[in-house]
Amino acid sequence: MRAALEKMSTIRVRLFGGREYAIENGSTALDLAGRIEPRLTQEATGVRLNGHVVDLTTPLHDGDTVEFLGFDTREGQDVFRHSGAHLMASAILRVRPGTKLAIGPPIEDGFYYDIECDPPITESDLPTIEAEMAKIVAEDLPFVRKEVSKREALEYFRDRGDLYKVELIEDLQDGTITYYQHGDFTDLCRGPHLPSTSRIRAFKLLGIAGAYWRGDERNPMLQRIYGTAFPTQEQLAEHLKLRAEAEKRDHRKLGKQLDLFSFHEAGPGFPFIHPKGMVILNTLMEYWREEHRKRGYHEVRTPLILNRALWEQSGHWDHYKENMYFCQIDERDYAIKPMNCPGGMLIYKTRLRSYRDLPMRLAEVGIVHRHEKSGVLHGLIRVRMFTQDDAHIFMMPQQIQEEVLGIMDLVDSVYKKFGLDYHVELSTRPHDYIGTEEMWDQATTALKEALEASGKTYKINEGDGAFYGPKIDFHIRDCLKRAHQCATIQLDFAMPEKFDLEYMGPDGERHRPVVIHRVIFGAIERFFAILVEHFGGAFPVWLAPVQAVVIPVSPIFEPYAHQVGGRLSESGLRVEVDTGPDTLKYKIRNAQTQQAPYMLVVGEREQQAGAVAVRHRRKGDLGALPLDAFVERILTEVTSKALDDT
């Protein structure tokens, strides 16, 4: 049969969701792109062939399903930037021939390569490497895929002294190993890659950092060279502009400037929240509690430390132990909770529930601890202690869709309040999971049906579900177009089985409930960091730690300034009165630096008129207003949770 197919002069392939094409036997996906639309040969970066992303130069076979991927897809970007990582690595080897290569994957908005180089590469070397990259692009070298045996691969990289590659190969199963070559550069790689180096028309090396080999502090420290690449110079310029703005908005920098939080050697990865930071967090949680009360949630609290037997029962001991902290009490093993869910299961189990009690929505603002390696800690974005706005919803199977739609509506309402757009992904069964395949199929189908009923578009993220169930993830996009995964809805048939949860049905029989695990903010500290950067520290009035600063023009008007401050405070507003020795101009500049939404300047005219001269942090001088009129104005902004500075 195979021989007969090989003798066919033409084969038929089908575009994903589209028409069929008859093409010459032996044609590649790139050949097909040229047949469809010549421009597609330049715009496509990779191809999904029968569900798998592969090179454009991959030969096609009769009956194949083909989907072309462009730079407008994440998979297409990954192909493009993975090729950029190889381009950079080959240039580094030309500039520094003795360099040892470790790994070089694509990442969000770019790529990196971990290397060992003596002497180390410095920032001053990056322009030289970029110049060499440009030469390799001009050489238009094809990316060529080669397949060899594991033995051949080990011999090749041992002969070159590439011990990091040798270690990676030794961890692979016996069988075929793939290389990618362009020119005299060869790298261990699964691919896929662009057809040639000439496709990488716009690139920039962004910086150097340290990284432990394989993320383990016990391993050698390598250099991580970061870069990015785009199809056009215009796209690169736009990205670099947003990147420069992101550096200005870095929450670590603004957190210090605005006195919101800090980190200390006494607890790496454990944030210290300052008074102004607590104002913002408490305001966020007041809003959170208000929304949850409206939707029938009941708040609970569970212990921080629970014994080993519970974590074995939940499955965390076997599936999450490397991320947990442990202690001993009375010579027994305990764990500090990395998740709130087992405690919620125990609360449910305190008595037999009736179907009339369901759905039962238990919400918990719970502090959790997870062991993160020091190399990945990053401000409030990646910490070892954080707070989850968790909830566990216990329900009958027939209530799943209604509950999922209710959570999606809550997520939509909350994110709109902050001006955050988002997209949705459905994550399916991972390699390491608990429960049966039947449970997983049932849960995944239920989530798909809820998504279809919601009318929202979504993508499937294969194999990225939690170990106990599939999930819907919400990826918000901030003002700099960066994506952050925050809210999640996880449907769980397995944990009710493990904890033997039951309810009494209308038929008088005992039944097994289903559980939804969900968060809205996610890690509250991380959401806080996202908001710091999204707003650039200029929080909307309802969130701002100081909503107005009263500034007397001279000491003789300080009593009136305090009177104004008192009136605002009595109205529930957060206000400061600046009676320091600095000049009026400096006080205004200082209030603006602290991102206070309003500055109220008071002097003789304001005192006589019972007014304030209003200055806005962005709009400047707004003129004089009667004090009562200003209070009404700012209270309207606060109660409506207005986003715009109006």
Among 629, 591, 604, CA closest to 552: 604
The answer to whether 82 is a known catalytic residue is no
Q: How many residues does the chain have?
A: 646
CA distance 65 to 175: 27
- CA dist 608 and 639 (Å) reads 30
| Contacts with 478 (C-beta within 8 Å, 6 or more apart), sequence order | 420, 484, 530, 533, 534
HEC per residue, 8-29: CCEEEEEECCCCEEEEECCCEH
Q: Is 81 a catalytic residue?
A: no
DSSP sequence for 380-443: TTB-SEEEEEEEEEEE-GGGHHHHHHHHHHHHHHHHHHTT-EEEEEEE---SS--S-HHHHHHH
**Spatial CA neighbour of 569 closest among 548, 554, 590, 555:** 548
Asked whether 400 and 446 are in contact (CB, 8 A), the reply is: yes
Distance CA 103, CA 544 (A): 43
How buried is residue 486: exposed, middle or buried, by Cβ count under 10 Å (0-12/13-18/19+)?
Answer: buried
Alpha-carbon span 527 to 535, nearest angstrom: 12
Say which of 370, 429, 526, 587 is annotated catalytic. Answer: 370
Gap between the Cα atoms of 80 and 191, Å rounded: 10
Catalytic residue among 55, 162, 390, 473: 390
| DSSP track, 532-553 | HHHHTT---TTT-SS-EEEEES
Annotated catalytic residue, options 193, 316, 384, 471: 471
Q: How many CB atoms within 10 Å of residue 584? A: 14
End-to-end Cα spacing for the chain? 73
Cβ(404)–Cβ(391) below 8 Å: no
Q: Which residue has the tokens 């949850």?
A: 292
Cα separation, 352 vs 512, whole angstroms: 11
Q: Is 471 a catalytic residue?
A: yes
Q: How many CB atoms lie under 10 A from the CB of residue 409?
A: 12
How many Å apart are CA 331 and CA 360, to the nearest integer?
A: 36
Let me know if 485 is a catalytic residue: no
106: β partners: 111
Q: Any catalytic annotation for residue 392?
A: yes
Q: Which residue is catalytic, options 55, 162, 316, 341? A: 341
* Active-site residue (options: 182, 199, 251, 517): 517
Residues 297 and 361: beta-carbon distance below 8 Å: yes
Distances (CA, A) of 209 to 43, 107, 227, 477: 32, 15, 12, 26
**Residue 64 annotated in active site:** no
Distance, CA of 53 to CA of 66 (rounded, Å): 10
Q: Is 39 noted as a catalytic residue in this protein?
A: no
Strand order of the sheet with strand 144-149? 144-149, 176-182, 185-188
Q: Which of 392, 518, 567, 617 is catalytic?
A: 392
CA distance 542 to 419: 14
Active site residues: 341, 370, 388, 390, 392, 471, 517
